[in-house]
Structure 1
Amino acid sequence: MTAPTLGYIATRPDDDPIVVAGTDFSKVGILSTSADADADVFPLNTPIRFSSTDPAYLSKIGTGYLADALQLLNAQLKGLAADVIVVRVAEGASSDPTTKLSQTLANCVGSAGSNTGLYAFLTAAEVVKAVPRLIIVPGYTAQQPDGTGVANPVMAAIGPVLDTLRAFMPYDVAPGSADAAIAGRETMSSMRMMPVGVAVRAYKTVSNVTTLTTMPASPIVAGLFVRQDNNLGGKPFDTICNQPVYGIADVSRPIAFSLIDGSTEGQTMLASDVSIIVSGQSANVDAIADGGFVFLGWETCDISENWRQAHQVRGQDYIDVEEQKITRKYLGKRITPRVVESWLKSLDFAMLDHVKADPPDILGYKIVFSKDLNSANQVELGMLHIQSYIQQAPIFLVAQNDVRKYRPALDALVATVIANTGNLTATV
């Protein structure tokens, strides 16, 4: 098109600071078994996306672990629904229980080459146009087939999948005792995993018969994350510790807990990074609540102190994706002062929005672009280097109160008496 000699020219500069929409980190991936599910609706090893309360899917999910997971997940959402991506895998075919379990665990792990089992989640973005950022495998993470000290095969395999998806995984460890739960936790090391050391008891209805059934607790934890994310407009910056648990009748075993006694079983499990669900006790002022059931947990399985709090890991993943989405708008452009300044300002504006949110997503930040990080040789190769310093809010864990006598109150008492009665002198 030729520019006019006399007229008007409009342009659309593309080097101004940009804004990108946030990413939903509340989509839940659920992988497990359900032998009586409708195979047409839930084919094996295929991501199926739907609203967690959609009766068209719930009526076809069967009665296995998948149905239990959706029941407990939905119970935490206060009438809302979660965006779920379900992958159904087959149970083992052997008549021997031990062999059958081994086969089922192998089906859960699946194959990277054929995108089965866990690896089916890696195809979700293409198949169902969504990425699960919370993943659970209810029913198949607590077993240690070769004994204590050996990692569960599903947990041993899922780490790279979580890293690729920037996903977080609440997972069940052996619920029978504190020692067994802690032993299961000790087999893992990842900032993307949160072990849960107790199962729950919930009412389940099959063919119009209702029974009290023991179920894995990991779907509850996923539901709590979704619930808290929703309270922040879909952003994953809040903690789920000390949140009420709904939809259960009991825990699989009572866990003693006291706010003031660190030697109780619950405190010991928390100290070992194992999350728990405890019951409230109206007659016990040292309990966590007066009644109901409460989730207690915040620790990941990371060996570093930097990423031990689950909400901080998920929050930083959100920021990483946000900064990646901003940066990809600039890739391929010529490196000019205007382009680099626009990129840096776009990152700065995004972080500023997080600080100014109510409540704030992060406490503060600093983005550094320095000469030391960007030599002429690096810039010539098209490489720009920044450093982001981001401080997220830590969780409030312990309140210490140093109680001392306040003697000025006694002086005030004497002064009040004198003011009210006068400076009396006894006369004999």
Structure 2
Amino acid sequence: MPHGLTLTESTSGARSLATSSLAVIGILATASAAAGAASTALDAAFPIGAPVLVTNIAEAIGKAGTGGTLLPTLKAIADQVTPVLVVLRVDEGEDDTETSANVIAAIPALISAKSAVGVRPRILGAPGLDSATVTAQLVIAAKRLRARAYARAIGEDDAAVIAYRETFSARELTLIWPNTSPDFAGDATARALGLRARIDEETGWHKTISNVAMDGVTALTRNIAFDLLDPSTEAGVLNDADVVTIIREWGGFRFWGNTTCAGSDQSEYRFESAVRTLHALQDIVIEAFAPEFDKAMSVALVKDLLESCNTKFSELATSGWIMGAKVALAATGNTSAELAAGRPKFALRFTPCAPFENPTVDFAITEEFYSDFASQVAA
């Protein structure tokens, strides 16, 4: 036998799992530049129809041309965060209908972007191009990517905006109104994309975009009435209709509202944070399960899988990102035949952290603070 230390590596046992990052932004945009070197640089940096990975947004802004939606979108995002983005440039059509058709035709390339650039976009938008038909297709992409889509709520007043919101039933969608710029219709949406990524990086996916000050905003296209104690204000009415609005309070402009466009049959996913938590936990399960596929299914393997997941869930609960979560073998369906066929069934139950949205404070006049009045005067 050799005289010395022998090192071995074990690939069995529970594994440490990473906290899921959902902060990659995916945008669809148009862009143009004057003929010559600027146009050549734009085409080289952002070829039409090809997803492009951006890790230096300042550099990307310098190559984004001067026309179209790409430049103002990147600038609005950069006001909030220095992100990782996937940019998909599309042709600007002869009219809005043709442009929308071009955007929709490009969405499959955004869905498959990971094969091309190595990252999966999880925050989606087409700022300034998000017509109703485009938004409907963004929702489909968000479902496929387990992502969050942000879009403008189209309408000139509250009634029109609320009616527009009622045309959607998707937990993956957040609609925003009004806008933050008279010059670029997608400004508020772009800022939502950037703020979502910033919150993911600085706080976590369990926090909604509501009540976080935005950078770079000086005015709204419509001033929204708001009173924290009065739900009948314009902000309260919009929030009640599941439209995220924008208010000016506490030293800045802020998105206000926590809700998604989930239908009544998915009320448990009414809060943005619940959907984001679902997506994050799905990522954790995928990370745990993927390396074990096609290995011999043994009791030890299943125990290790469950321990890996549940240890991570406990860490998230301790950190305040979830209230709790647990995965176990399902109580039913795990017959000998199913297990012998390599088809074990698991059940995951979780409780996301609800936003502190509607606390109640009861005010009552009382005499109790006069109870020691005389003794205080005599002291």
**What is the TM-score when the length of structure 1 is the normalising length?**
0.81
Q: 1:30-109 residue pairs with structure 2 within 5 A? A: 30-36=27-33, 38-55=42-59, 57-63=60-66, 64-77=68-81, 81-93=82-94, 100-109=95-104
Moved more, 29-38 or 66-75: 29-38
Specify which structure has the higher proportion of helix. 2
Query: 1:185·1:195 contact (CA, 8 Å) conserved in 2?
Result: yes
- Which residue matches 1:96? none
Alpha-carbon offset, residue 15 of structure 1: 2.5
Q: Residue 104 of structure 1: CA displacement?
A: 0.5
Q: Which residue of 1 aligns with 2:230?
A: 261
Q: Could you say what secondary structure the match of 1:334 adopts?
A: coil
1:278 alignment counterpart: 247
**Which has the bigger relative contact order, CA under 8 A and spacing at least 6?**
2
- SS of the residue 2:304 aligns to: helix
Q: Aligned pair 1:226/2:188, yes or no?
A: no
Percent of pairs identical after alignment?
Answer: 24
Shift of 1:407: 2.8
Aligned to 2:181, the other structure's residue is in SS state strand
1:297 deviates by 2.0
Name 2:18's counterpart in structure 1.
21
Is 1:118 aligned to residue 115 of structure 2? no
Contact 1:192 1:300 in 2 (8 A): yes
Q: Which amino acid aligns with 1:67?
A: L
Distance 1:52 1:6 in 2: 53
CA-CA distance at 1:378 after TM superposition = 1.4
Q: Shift of the alpha carbon at 1:9?
A: 7.9
How do 1:135-150 and structure 2 match up within 5 A? 135-141=124-130, 143=131
Shift of residue 7, structure 1, vs aligned partner: 11
Tell me if 1:132 matches 2:135: no
TM value normalised by structure 2: 0.90
Residues 98-154 of structure 1, C-alpha deviation per residue, up to 9 Å, x if partnerless? xx11111100100xxxxxx1111122111111110001111122x4xxxxxxxx111
* Distance 1:404-1:61 versus aligned 2 partners, 3 A rule: same
SS at match of 2:366: coil
CA contact (8 A) 1:176 1:253 kept: no
Q: Per the alignment, in what secondary structure is the counterpart of residue 347 of structure 1?
A: helix
Runs of at least 5 residues in structure 2 that lack an aligned partner in the other structure: 34-38
Q: Mapping of 1:12-411 within 5 angstroms?
A: 12-36=9-33, 38-55=42-59, 57-63=60-66, 64-77=68-81, 81-93=82-94, 100-110=95-105, 117-141=106-130, 143=131, 152-174=132-154, 176-201=156-181, 215-232=186-203, 235-280=204-249, 289=250, 291-303=251-263, 304-357=266-319, 360-370=320-330, 372-411=332-371
- Give SS of 1:364's match: strand
Alignment RMSD (CA, Å): 2.3
Letter of the 1:105 counterpart: S
Q: Aligned residue pairs: how many?
A: 369
Partner of 1:149: none
* Structure 1 residue identity aligned to 2:236: Q
- Judge conservation of contact 2:244–2:256 (CA < 8 Å) in 1: yes
User: Offset of 1:186 from its aligned partner?
Assistant: 1.2
SS for the counterpart of 2:327 is strand
- 1:283-320 deviation per Cα after TM superposition (whole angstroms, max 9, x unaligned): xxxxxx2x431211211111121111112211220110
Task: Using the TM superposition, give the Cα deviation of residue 367 of structure 1 relative to its aligned residue in structure 2, in angstroms.
Answer: 2.6
SS state at 2:355 partner: coil
Larger Rg: 1
- Deviation of residue 21 (structure 1)? 3.0
Structure 1 unmatched ranges of 5 or more: 94-99, 111-116, 144-151, 203-211, 281-288, 421-428
Q: CA deviation at 1:20?
A: 3.1
Structure 1 residue 213: deviation in Å?
5.6
Task: Give the conservation status (yes or no) of the 8 Å contact 1:35–1:90.
Answer: no
**What secondary structure sits across from 2:324 in the alignment?**
strand
Distance (whole Å) between structure 1 residues aligned to residue 83 and residue 54 of structure 2:
8
- Summarize deviations over 1:372-395 as a string: whole Å, max 9, x none: 342212111111112111111100
